[in-house]
Structure 1
Amino acid sequence: MIRRTAFRALTTVAVTAALALPLAQGAQAAAPDTTAPATAATAATINANDDNPFRWMELDGLRADFQFMCPAGHCAGLWSLVLTDNVAQQRFEGRKFFVYAPATGEFSFFLDTDIAVRTVDHPSQVRLVDTDFMRSHPRVEVRYGDPDHPDRARVVASATTLM
């Protein structure tokens, strides 16, 4: 009788452990692992800082931004300059944003999604990616106004190449 009771108790413990083990493993797998290496996006952001092509520029009203874009399903990391939150939150109505090099009177472009455009309507669309243009001009400005009359437009941000 004692043997049978001990066997039943042992069987009950074994069955309980067999049923509880997968549940415990599932809960452990669902819990975030804080010791795991950084995700690809986090690692890319960390490593992206090393490749920032704008790190040698003095930025006023702009900040460097790294993001992944996937035009036509091919993802690539991209550095760009965007307006700072302080500038982007200002009120802008009725005009256009454009990129202008005051020393030469030349224009550059913004990247709107994956299309290069000369002007944009909203502060959130200001995204400068033309690093060749910025390196070949000592000062590049984001202006707001009429691109046909850049001298009358308001300078909202600038990037100056440090020599």
Structure 2
Amino acid sequence: MIRRTALRTLSALAVTAALALPLAQGAQAATPAAAAPATAATPATVNADDDNPFRWMELDGLRADFQSMCPAGHCVRFWSLVLTDDIAQRKFQGGKFFVYAPATGEFSFFLDTDIAVRTVDHPGQVRLVDTEFMRSHPRVEVRYGDPGHPGRARVVASATTLM
């Protein structure tokens, strides 16, 4: 119980820090260049000159997405991983989506609007932003099923760090 609470607190702090960083660096999101509209479908393979933190990962069922969010009126742009369209359109029933590192048995979180959550119900809610977690684990999987029994859950997507 204490470990779960601590992990939730750390996850929330990590998301808050990740989203607040551009604001602390001069609110670059408010400049006209940063306010350009995001493309709806950013491919998994992107220009090596950009700042996509996922470009060195092998993505299976996931794609990098550049998103805007305006919590409390301060717009922030950030990279995240979302399910590919073919995976997101599949029917899922009887479980939850969660992020799992099979090598260590650790869980991460999704960003649901501007809140860090451990599980989500719908494929369109799958949005991974915890780059530190992904960099510290060689393989991260999005699974669907019972988070209480991750070994029985179905792997629907994965991100593998290329070394």
TM-score by length of 1: 0.72
CA distance in 2, matches of 1:129, 1:139: 15
Structure 1's 120 and 39: CA in aligned 2 closer, same or farther, altered over 3 A? closer
Structure 1 residue 71 displacement after superposition: 0.7
Which residue is equivalent to 1:72? 72
1:41 aligns with 2:32: no
**Larger of the two Rg values belongs to structure:** 1
Q: State the alpha-carbon separation in 2 of the partners of residues 152 and 39 from structure 1.
A: 43
- What is the DSSP-based 3-state SS (H/G/I as helix, E as strand, rest coil) of the residue aligned with 1:51? coil
Unaligned runs of 5+ in 1: 1-37
1:145 paired residue number: 145
CA change 1:60–1:71 in 2 (3 A) is same
Query: Which residue is 1:90 aligned to?
Result: 90
Separation in structure 2 between the aligned mates of residue 121 and residue 141 of structure 1, nearest angstrom: 16
Q: CA 1:40–1:60 in 2, change beyond 3 Å: closer, same or farther?
A: same
Could you tell me how far apart the structure 2 residues matched to 1:149 and 1:139 are?
A: 18
Residue 40 of structure 1 deviates from its aligned partner by: 3.9
Matched, 1:99 2:109: no
Large movers: runs of 4+ above 6 Å:
none
Q: Deviations over 1:105-138 (max 9, x none)?
A: 0000000000000000000000000000000000
Cα offset, 1:144, TM superposition: 0.1
- Alignment match, 1:122: 122
Give the length in aligned residue pairs.
124
| Larger relative helix fraction | 1
Deviation string 1:43-77 (CA, Å, 9 cap, x unpaired) is x769x960100000000000000011001111011
For residues 122 and 162 of structure 2, the distance between their equivalents in structure 1, rounded to whole angstroms, comes to 29
- How much does 1:39 deviate? 9.0
Between the aligned partners of 1:39 and 1:81, the Cα distance in structure 2 is 20
Flag the 1:75–1:39 CA change in 2: closer, same or farther, 3 A.
closer
The one-letter amino acid paired with 1:41 is A
Amino acid at match of 1:117: V
Distance 1:39 1:77 in 2: 8
